[in-house]
Amino acid sequence: VSASYDTIKIWDMATAREKHTLTGHQDLVRSVTISPDGKTLVSASSDDKNIKIWDMATAREKHTLTGHQHWVNSVTISPD
């Protein structure tokens, strides 16, 4: 997984080819994390103050979490 400005890319490590491009953030993607089962990606953006939850298999956005008043610089997933 890589991120640049407002885009996240998911790569196939075996072939070194891009599998999916995720778009939806309105500003810099500051942080991404993948769930332990590899099914979900969570991303955080700075100025748009949003956290997005993505389905890794379909590359579709599942949810947008709003409510932060300031930049969101980091996300992580708790195993529970």
Which pairs with CB-CB distance under 8 Å and at least 24 residues apart come from 15-24?
19/59, 20/59, 21/59, 22/52, 22/54, 22/59, 22/61, 24/52, 24/61, 24/64
**By mean pLDDT, which of 9-13, 18-22, 32-36, 44-48 is the weakest?**
44-48
List, for residues 38-74, the tens digit of each pLDDT value: 999 999 987 788 999 999 999 999 999 998 988 888 9
Task: Write down the pTM of the prediction.
Answer: 0.87
Structure confidence at residue 5 (pLDDT): 85
Residue 6 has pLDDT above 90, yes or no: no
